[in-house]
């Protein structure tokens, strides 16, 4: 299920008000929204960010060059920052992946972990290690991820 | 108005054939005209489970290849008036039939029967694609095992891709005692992953093994709990709202109910 989208809206005939430059820098348009649950055997490969509204079940796979956000339970395999971006993060309402990869780091949950997380969590690389923390709506710089 | 329903699971051995036979027999017992189609070409079982093996003359491939008329291949059940079987071929393989032929066949059967129930082979290859080709609805059977649930999830995804949305789930062979002790996946755990509507839960029952080996169906057994579960499933297929039966019979009341024959 490789998905490709184009970002080329038609040029308007009037002069468009330009966004302030600082806001322009904050916007990343290369994102796809997946509005259903990914089941075993289904996969998404995308050059950009992936947002899933639904679950990612065991046996499903998401590979993205950017961030991966799952508004649901993440139980499958995910690879964020697949083209080497160490700033990429994985965020899920319930982060219980079979395997979690960011850039060239590969992690899996500990074998003895039985209880799943109760709150949204975020995985990212900190000090050259994949770190999982409870997701705070924003850090002190106002950055979500 | 007839319904064409495929019974599938992905994984083998979870009870597709037993479920197909019992649903078919249950519907026929309520006076409906039902045909069961065995789509498991090369590994046919439905005829054995129904005890009709020795009556097969023509099979599904004879029909699709035009060696006989559809009527000639249909086998009438020995117990239920309105129940018929279209057997699979044993000496051929899944490529002997294609999805277009199955679609046409299902259409012809639907013209004569109220319910067309297709027993799907295990796997997700051509046999599966054949079996679902003509179906309007799907029933997914799983057991409370991680591997079976995983395969069911895969199959639900494939069914959705084939426009068979909202399949109904049957959880087979559940052992309430093991679930209670945390040794087996519970109904909620399975629904949590698969996120589909639950059609019924069938408890593990030795009577199923006994009746299946005899070529009988447990759905007609008034005293068996699995039979009750199948009767409930049949009524739900008919559109009735039937509450899920209480599987937990460990307490004093449950035992008492069992002793006096109330389920």
For residue B17, give the CATH number of its domain: 3.40.50.300
pLDDT in tens, B169-180: 999 999 999 999
Mutation site, B125, B146, B149, B153, interface A, largest A CB count within 10 A: B153
ipTM surpassing 0.90: no
Q: In which band, very low, low, confident or very high, does the pLDDT at A110 lie, cut at 50, 70 and 90?
A: confident
Backbone angles phi, psi at A28, to 5 degrees: -120, 110
Taking alpha carbons only, the member of A55, A47, A37, A116 closest to residue A79 is A47
Is B191 in the A-facing interface, judged by CB distances under 8 Å? no
pLDDT for the residue A142: 55
Which tens digit of pLDDT belongs to each residue from A6-30?
555 566 677 666 677 777 777 777 9
In percent, the amount of chain A with pLDDT more than 70 equals: 82
Q: Do A41 and B157 touch (CB under 8 A)?
A: yes
- Alpha helices, DSSP H only, in chain A? 21-26
Q: Between A and B, how many CB-CB pairs are < 8 A? A: 28
Average pLDDT, chain A: 86
pLDDT digits (tens, 9 = 90+) for B94-127: 999 999 999 999 999 999 999 999 999 999 999 9
A128 alpha-carbon distance from chain centroid: 19
Q: Round to whole Å and give the CA distance between B179 and B187.
A: 9
> Is residue B38 packed enough to be buried (19+ CB in 10 Å), middle (13-18) or exposed (0-12)?
buried
Q: Which chain A residues contact residue B160 at CB under 8 A?
A: 39
The model carries a pTM of 0.82
Amino acid A29: pLDDT: 75
Whole-angstrom CA distances from B170 to A50, B85, B186 are 33, 22, 13
Query: Exposed (0-12), middle (13-18) or buried (19+): which is B235, by Cβ within 10 Å?
Result: middle
Distance of CA B209 to the CA centre of its chain: 15
B156 contacts in chain A (CB < 8 Å): 39
Q: Supply the pLDDT for residue B263.
A: 47
Which domain, by its residues, includes B200? 3-259
Overall average pLDDT of the A121-142 stretch: 84
* Residue A47: predicted pLDDT: 96
Low-confidence stretches of chain B (pLDDT beneath 70):
249-263
CA atoms within 13 A on the CB side of B36: 36
Domain count, chain B: 1
Task: Determine the angle formed by the axes of helices B225-237 and B206-213, rounding to 10 degrees.
Answer: 80
User: Domains in chain A, start-ordered, CATH in brackets?
Assistant: 31-134 (2.160.20.70)
- Residue A1: per-residue pLDDT: 46
Nearest to B154 among A40, A55, A75 (CB): A40
How far the first Cα of chain A sits from its last, in Å, is 26
- How many angstroms away from the CA of B152 is the closest CA of chain A? 9
Q: Please state, for a pLDDT cut of 70, what percent of chain B lies above it.
A: 94
Q: For A54-91, what is each residue's pLDDT tens digit?
A: 999 999 999 999 999 999 999 999 999 999 999 999 99
Compute the nearest-CA separation of B140 from chain A (Å).
14
pLDDT of residue A115: 75
Q: CB-CB: which of B154, B158, B195 is closest to A37? A: B195
pLDDT in the model for residue B247: 79
pLDDT at B183: 93
């Amino acid at each position: 299920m490789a998905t490709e989208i184009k970002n080329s809206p038609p040029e308007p005939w009037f002069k468009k008000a330009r966004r302030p430059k600082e806001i322009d820098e904050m916007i990343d348009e290369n994102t796809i929204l997946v509005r259903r649950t990914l089941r075993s055997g289904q996969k998404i490969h995308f050059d950009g960010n992936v947002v899933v509204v639904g679950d990612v079940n065991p046996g499903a796979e998401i590979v993205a060059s950017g961030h991966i956000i799952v508004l649901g339970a993440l139980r499958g395999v995910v690879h964020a920052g697949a083209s080497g971006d160490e700033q990429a993060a994985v965020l899920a309402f319930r982060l219980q992946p079979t395997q979690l990869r960011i850039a060239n780091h590969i992690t899996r949950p500990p074998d003895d972990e039985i209880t799943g997380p109760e709150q949204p969590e975020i995985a990212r690389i900190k000090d050259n290690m994949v770190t999982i923390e409870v997701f705070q709506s924003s850090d002190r710089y106002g950055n979500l991820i | 108005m007839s319904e064409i329903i495929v019974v599938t699971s992905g994984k083998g051995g979870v009870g597709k054939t037993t479920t197909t036979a019992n649903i078919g027999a249950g519907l026929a017992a309520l006076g409906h005209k039902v045909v069961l189609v065995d789509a498991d070409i090369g590994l046919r079982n439905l005829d054995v489970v129904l005890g009709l093996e020795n009556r097969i003359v023509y099979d599904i491939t004879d029909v699709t290849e035009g060696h006989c008329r559809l009527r000639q291949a249909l086998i009438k059940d020995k117990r239920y008036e309105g129940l018929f079987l279209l057997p699979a071929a044993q000496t051929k393989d899944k490529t002997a039939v294609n999805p277009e032929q199955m679609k046409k066949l299902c259409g012809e059967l639907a013209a004569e029967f109220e319910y067309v129930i297709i027993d799907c082979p295990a796997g997700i290859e051509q046999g599966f694609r054949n079996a679902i080709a003509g179906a309007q609805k799907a029933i997914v059977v799983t057991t409370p095992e991680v591997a079976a649930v995983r395969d069911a999830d895969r199959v639900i995804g494939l069914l959705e891709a084939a426009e068979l949305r909202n399949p109904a789930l049957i959880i087979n062979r559940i052992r309430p005692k093991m679930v209670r002790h945390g040794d087996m996946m519970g109904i909620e755990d399975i629904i949590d992953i698969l996120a589909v509507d639950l059609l019924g839960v069938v408890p593990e029952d030795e009577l199923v093994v006994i009746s299946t080996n005899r070529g009988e169906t447990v759905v007609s057994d008034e005293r068996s709990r699995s039979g009750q579960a199948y009767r409930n499933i049949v009524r739900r297929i008919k559109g009735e709202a039937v509450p899920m039966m209480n599987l937990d019979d460990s307490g004093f009341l449950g035992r008492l109910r069992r002793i006096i024959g109330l389920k």
